[in-house]
Amino acid sequence: MKCFHCDNCGMMVFFKNDLCIKCGHPLGFLPDVLDLSELETASENQWRASSSLAQKRVYRNCANGQQYKICNWMIPENDSNPLCAACRLNEVIPNLAENKNLERWEKLELAKRRCLYTFLKLGLPVENARGGKQPSLRFRFLEDEENSPVKTGHQDGVITVNIAEADDDEREHRRLTLHEPYRTVVGHLRHESGHFYWDRLIANSPNQKRFRELFGDETADYDAALQNYYKQGPSADWQGRTVTAYASSHPWEDWAETWAHYLHIMDTLETAASFGVSVNPDNAANDASQKISPIMFNEQMDFDKMLEGWIPLTCALNSINHGMGLSDLYPFVIPPAVVEKLRFIHQVIKSVRSN
Ligand SMILES: [Zn+2]
Ligand SMILES: [Zn+2]
Ligand SMILES: [Zn+2]
């Protein structure tokens, strides 16, 4: 994600801020122009956005921001929905009568908005299409109940998240139990969005043929494949074929894991480019440092160039983490087979944008 600055004082501010840390002016995120803007009072409950991208347009706060302080997205004046473009996608929110659920929900919403930022930036559809035949992206944040544990997953446009994943101790416990190198709320949401976008962009489309060449035949029995994975573990050669062990369980999971990975790369590269990060791991003393090229998501964006910037950046980020005594920020290796899968995802997204 790009880095934002206060329109009033120029201070660096962050995606989740609703006040400038330095000058105290109110801030709101404008999903229509993907910018965090300083806000001037326009009239009661209405704000005029200072961002040059918004051209002095007027917005309202999201009801979840006003009532619960968990959302800083703004609603354009001519949109009558009380909820912002992100919050209106919720079908079920956590039971706020429970202690701690407001805090869990806030974490889940922040991760969700971060994902939506990238979808909107990439030009990916989140609304329904074909007269409602293709449902919009929706979310259910559910809690385990006695004898009915909640499985994080996707079905028919709905992403269900077990809200226990918002608790760091619980998520880390699950990560260790499942021998995963990486487990985050953003990662879950990106993975599940992969299933949503498979239905949208691959199923019954001209992309399906190439999908099967790269990922395999998705008509293979899904339940049997997952049962087999949890019983036998990943196939012995997964590291040469898939980006994670779990991805080797079934072509759909391979797609969702690779899709999530593509989104990780996009978000992190945009952040690095936005901060002007340069990396030159082969010869750090050489002046000709390799600047992470300012990307984002345009039709000319070259996949190989993007990956060329990505690999040295991950080496640098891992080493920086080691300097702080932390484990790898990026605990992945991308084999050539996965490069081709990522390239395919890149092309699919580019073709959505140009349509
Ligand atoms: Zn400021
Ligand atoms: Zn909202
Ligand atoms: Zn999945």
Query: In the chain, where are the structural domains located?
Result: 4-84, 86-185, 202-355
Instruction: Classify each residue of 197-227 as buried b or exposed e, where b means 16 or more C-beta atoms within 10 Å of its C-beta.
Output: bbebbbeeeebeeebeebbbebeeeeeebee
Dist. CA 5 → ligand 1 center (Å): 8
Ligand nearest to the CA of 160: 3
Residues 6+ apart with CB under 8 A from 190: 115, 259, 260, 263, 264
The pLDDT value given to residue 291: 56
Dist. CA 38 → ligand 1 center (Å): 8
Listed residue (68, 44, 47) closest to 58, CA to CA: 47
pTM given for the model: 0.94
Ligand nearest to the CA of 12: 1
Ligand nearest to the CA of 60: 2
Lookup result for tokens 């391979």: 254
Dist. CA 4 → ligand 1 center (Å): 11
Q: What is the mean pLDDT of residues 120-135?
A: 86
The pLDDT value given to residue 294: 47
Task: Tell me how far apart the alpha carbons of residues 67 and 109 are, in angstroms, rounded to a whole number.
Answer: 14
Dist. CA 157 → ligand 3 center (Å): 13
Q: What is the mean pLDDT of residues 149-156?
A: 94
Listed residue (28, 16, 2, 5) closest to 121, CA to CA: 2
Task: Tell me how far apart the alpha carbons of residues 295 and 238 are, in angstroms, rounded to a whole number.
Answer: 31
Dist. CA 121 → ligand 3 center (Å): 23
Dist. CA 354 → ligand 1 center (Å): 37
Pick the range with the lowest mean pLDDT from 11-15, 158-162, 282-286.
282-286
Mean pLDDT over each residue of the chain, to the nearest integer: 92
Dist. CA 310 → ligand 2 center (Å): 32
The pLDDT value given to residue 292: 56
Q: Does residue 108 contact residue 72 with C-beta atoms inside 8 Å?
A: no
pLDDT digits (tens, 9 = 90+) for 253-265: 999 999 999 999 9
- What residues form DSSP beta bridges with 49? 39
231 has pLDDT over 50: yes
Q: Name the residues around ion ligand 3, CB cutoff 5 A.
A: 253, 256
Listed residue (297, 262, 273) closest to 122, CA to CA: 297
Dist. CA 237 → ligand 3 center (Å): 20
Q: What is the mean pLDDT of residues 142-164?
A: 94
Dist. CA 99 → ligand 2 center (Å): 21
Helix (H) or strand (E) holding 76: strand 74-76
